[in-house]
Amino acid sequence: MAANPPRGLTRAFIATLMLGASAAAAAQGAAPGATASRPAQQAAASYDIPAGPLAPALRSLASTAGIALTFTADQVQGKTTAGLKGAYRPAQAFEALLAGTGLQAVQRANQGYVLTPAVDAPVTALAPVTVTARSVYELPEAYAGGQVARGGHLGLLGNTDYMDTPFSIASYTAQTIQDQQAGSIADVLTTSDSSVRASIGSGNRYDALTIRGFRVDNDEIALNGLYGLVPAYRINPDPVERIEVLRGAGAFLNGMLPWGSVGGSVNIVTKRADDAPLTRFTTEYASDSRWGGHLDLGRRFGDQNQYGLRVNGAFRGGQPRIDGQSTQNGSGSLGLDYRGDRLRLSADIVYQDDWMRAAARGYTVAPGVKVPGAPDPKINLAQRFDTSSAQSLTGLVRAEYDLSDRVSLFGAFGANRFDYNKREAPGATIVGDNGDALSTSTHQKGKTEATSGEIGIRGRIETGPVTHQLVLSGNRLESRTWQGQTRYADYATNIYHPARLADPGAPIAYSPETRTSLSILQSVAVADTLSVKDGLVQLTLGARRQNVNTRSYSPAGDATNRYDQSATTPSAALVVRPTEQVSLYASYIEALTAGASPPANAANADQVFAPYKSKQYEIGSKLDFGAFGASLALFQIRVPGGIVDPVSKVYSLNGEQRNQGVELNGFGELARGVRLLGGVTWLDAKQRKTQGGLNDGRHAVGAPELQANLTLEWDTPFAPGLTLMGRAIHTSQAYLSADNSQRVPAWTRYDFGGRYKTRVAGKDVTLRATVTNLLDKHYWEANPTGYLISGMPRTLWLSVATEF
């Protein structure tokens, strides 16, 4: 059944207000004494703080509760705590955590807390140096159920609780990555988030995403807040603690994305050592015959656990359930950090090496040809001599220093080198209703070198009843690419009965490895978040001065395109908290965006288009009931339209694409031992102002009207330690051509799995088993560039994780 999204933002705005008002009324009814101001007694939060030194435990509590806590170094010197686990209000949490320490937390008039000797404890002289927990720099704690976090990184605004965020966000935890047995960052997002779909198939050598109907490539994913530092092909999730998704345009918050995506942005956060020592080894298997192992080691050192070390290493290899394909993947990462009273430092080194034989690619469909039925996803058109090899090395450092309890400095710098060498068929064109296709064959070798950095200052001041959170930030990303290519003759094949070639034949075209592009993106941003009545109302005003300097080069080394443009773009956002459980928001973002990038299968894949301004409007509501949370967002994004001509394969801009839609998401514990993670996205993506009005009002390419993801977990009462999981993923029909003559049918995929936690020989052991595409559904996915990809085959995933 086709989806029927609202036909305008006015109706959607009314619906949002009604939802927020209803939720506020329900919350008021549940708490008869509540008023429109923030209650004096703060809401409960869930804690899981291990036993150990008192100082880091206090920092963790303050970060989770989102409050300011002041204490002296001498107060906590040598003191320990038994830890804290469960849901508590701040006062209760402090009482439990400080039991037996001779200390108490006293609430101040500004809602912050200060540590003092307990009433019955002896008073001693204290050193004047203080330590203040600052949640803007600390990783937000996991929400109830552990699948998502309470908030995420919002660029220049820092880490922010989702209830105080005027945008649609999600932050998936390391627990979710482990439980899904994910092989890449894309696996987690496409499985968990209804706004995200795969833009490239699972059997390919690389990943790409579609968010809110727009493509987002891997090199547009940030690492600890900086772009340009991750592998361009596939991102291994082993060193990752969080996967944070900002749905919608994020250029004001993060600076410009390398290739100009506006549908959303992703930030991955690397692992840090916890206070509790960790040594975990995981043995893995995936059908047909892929094996692997992953070591995760974490330690903290120092009298207050101020020094941290986190090491991850993994290797996987074998044959997946795709004909003729084999893979090998190795990765290693080192994460170091220092947590001082005022200074925080971190450093990361991440290496990844990927090799694949017979990478499965997608298709285009020739004009006048109907989209044929999806083949068995195990069928692979790639030749056995097609191979891909890629290596990525990244280094990143970050520093934060508190000049006082109101002012802090921050800065980061990173560099990445990515090398690749691949022979493949970039994509076949289906030329007949019977599945006949014409495929190309190329060999490409090249590299990308990138440096990325940011620097800024953050402060807090009060002007009467108004609190100002001020930030000034600047960032810069420079990326250079080199590539050489050899092309071979096209050959005929069939998507149901692929042709097998002994060798690629003689080359018909060749270009040496030369520089192909230079891109420098830099900007300066300023923002002020004004809050009154203890955060009941928060207004963020800001602007970013952006500069885009891009060049592309011919194989002879001549500059073929060059753009150097600047613009100042504003942003405004409002958050209103009627109660602790309800948040209403509205936001507007305008940004200068790097010119559109043609997809890899386009004849002009290396062309650089002129920068353009994008605009996004969004309103929404969020709920927080302690154990279960939900969010509703209504949005509109406008960008220049782009399409690959199915005959010439040339990518060009044509008119405007307007995507507007509604997102509804839920997460947390529905009941004790029952968890839900999922959502629904209704999308109305239309073409406007096309040449001659030919396609005005038609659906945008590769943008389904309805996407839904639902994962349910149940901790079985009849077998303690056993958790069962069921998942459904649905995507409605989409269109592959701008004139909407080629339709891709709707599809639904089901996954099923479970995990069992036990102890063996005194060690914690977790066994996991998952079957993806349980019914072995054959289906197509369409992406926004007119590319058709085959769904994943049914696959069994097994793992055994042991903690020593």
- DSSP string of 344-399? EEEEEEEEEEEEEES----EEE-TTPPPPPPPPTT---S-TT-EEEEEEEEEEEEE
Q: What pLDDT shows up at residue 91?
A: 85
Q: What pLDDT shows up at residue 1?
A: 42
Asked if the model's pLDDT at residue 798 lies above 90, the reply is: yes
Helix, strand or coil, per DSSP, at residue 19: helix
Asked if the model's pLDDT at residue 526 lies above 90, the reply is: yes
Say if CB 299 and CB 277 are below 8 A apart: yes
Asked if the model's pLDDT at residue 386 lies above 80, the reply is: yes
Q: Of 357, 374, 352, 356, which Cα lies nearest the Cα of 365?
A: 374
- The separation between CA 638 and the C-alpha centre of its own chain, rounded to angstroms, equals 22
Q: Mind listing the pLDDT tens digit for each residue in 60-90? A: 888 777 777 877 767 887 788 988 988 788 8
Q: Of 711, 727, 718, 702, which Cα lies nearest the Cα of 787?
A: 702
Say if CB 582 and CB 623 are below 8 A apart: yes
What is the 3-class SS of 713-730, one letter each residue?
A: EEECCCCCCEEEEEEEEE
- Among 166-170, 215-219, 355-359, which stretch is predicted with the lowest mean pLDDT? 215-219
Q: 199 pLDDT band (50/70/90 cuts)? A: confident
Gyration radius of the chain over CA positions:
26
Q: What pLDDT shows up at residue 608?
A: 66
φ and ψ at 57, to 5 degrees?
A: -65, -40
Residues 609, 122: Cα–Cα separation, whole Å? 71
Q: What pLDDT shows up at residue 118?
A: 84
Q: Of 175, 189, 327, 181, which Cα lies nearest the Cα of 263?
A: 189
Tell which CATH architecture fits domain 38-132.
3-Layer(bab) Sandwich (3.55)
Q: What pLDDT shows up at residue 220?
A: 85
Question: Which H or E run includes 584?
Answer: strand 582-593
Q: Mind listing the pLDDT tens digit for each residue in 127-136? A: 333 333 344 6
Q: Name the residue type at position 249.
A: A
Residue 614 structure tokens: 């994008």
- pLDDT > 70 in the chain, percent: 90
Residues 133, 57: Cα–Cα separation, whole Å? 11
The strand pair at 221-223 and 264-270 is best described as parallel
- Across the beta sheet with 264-270, the strand order is 168-173, 240-247, 264-270, 221-223
The two domains 151-266 and 267-803 share their CATH topology (first three levels equal): no
End-to-end CA distance of the chain: 51
Q: Which residues, in sequence order, are CB contacts of 172 under 8 Å at separation 6+? A: 147, 148, 149, 188, 189, 192, 242, 243, 244, 245
Interval 680-696 mean pLDDT: 92
Count Cβ atoms below 10 Å from residue 171 Cβ, excluding itself: 26
Q: Mind listing the pLDDT tens digit for each residue in 369-379? A: 999 999 999 99
φ and ψ at 569, to 5 degrees?
A: -120, 135
Interval 139-166 mean pLDDT: 93
Interval 353-358 mean pLDDT: 96
Residues 228, 448: Cα–Cα separation, whole Å? 9
Q: What pLDDT shows up at residue 601?
A: 63
Interval 430-447 mean pLDDT: 95
Interhelix angle 54-65/90-97, nearest 10 degrees: 170
Between 109 and 123, the more confident residue is 109
Residues 479, 80: Cα–Cα separation, whole Å? 48
Query: Could you give the angle at the alpha carbon of 342 between the alpha carbons of 336 and 344, nearest 5°?
Result: 15
Interval 309-334 mean pLDDT: 96
Q: What pLDDT shows up at residue 90?
A: 86
Interval 103-108 mean pLDDT: 85
Between 124 and 708, the more confident residue is 708
Asked if the model's pLDDT at residue 503 lies above 60, the reply is: yes
Say if CB 212 and CB 635 are below 8 A apart: yes
Residues 780, 490: Cα–Cα separation, whole Å? 24
Q: 249 pLDDT band (50/70/90 cuts)? A: confident
φ and ψ at 76, to 5 degrees?
A: -105, -5
Note the pTM of the prediction, 2 decimals: 0.83
Interval 618-629 mean pLDDT: 96
Q: Which fold does the domain 267-803 belong to in CATH?
A: Maltoporin; Chain A (2.40.170)
Strands (DSSP E) contained in 425-555 are: 428-430, 436-463, 466-494, 507-532, 537-553
Q: 109 pLDDT band (50/70/90 cuts)? A: low
Say if CB 209 and CB 781 are below 8 A apart: no
Interval 740-759 mean pLDDT: 97
Interval 659-674 mean pLDDT: 96
Considering 257-266, 703-712, 777-786, the range whose residues carry the highest mean pLDDT is 703-712
Q: Count Cβ atoms within 10 A of the Cβ of residue 339 and give its class: 0-12 exposed, 13-18 middle, 19 or more buried.
A: buried
Considering 9-13, 601-605, 679-683, the range whose residues carry the highest mean pLDDT is 679-683
Residue 160 structure tokens: 């922010």
Q: Where are the alpha helices (DSSP H) in 143-259?
A: 174-179, 185-192, 251-254
Q: 561 pLDDT band (50/70/90 cuts)? A: confident
Helix, strand or coil, per DSSP, at residue 37: coil
The CATH label, of 2.170.130.10, 3.30.1370.60, 2.40.40.20, 1.10.3720.10, for the domain at 151-266 is 2.170.130.10
Name the average pLDDT for the chain.
88
Residues 408, 456: Cα–Cα separation, whole Å? 9
Helix, strand or coil, per DSSP, at residue 769: strand
Break the chain into its structural domains and give their ranges.
Answer: 38-132, 151-266, 267-803
Q: 219 pLDDT band (50/70/90 cuts)? A: confident
Asked if the model's pLDDT at residue 545 lies above 70, the reply is: yes
Query: Which of the 8 DSSP states describes residue 690?
Result: -
- pLDDT > 90 in the chain, percent: 66
Asked if the model's pLDDT at residue 3 lies above 50, the reply is: no
Q: 38 pLDDT band (50/70/90 cuts)? A: very low
Between 720 and 426, the more confident residue is 720
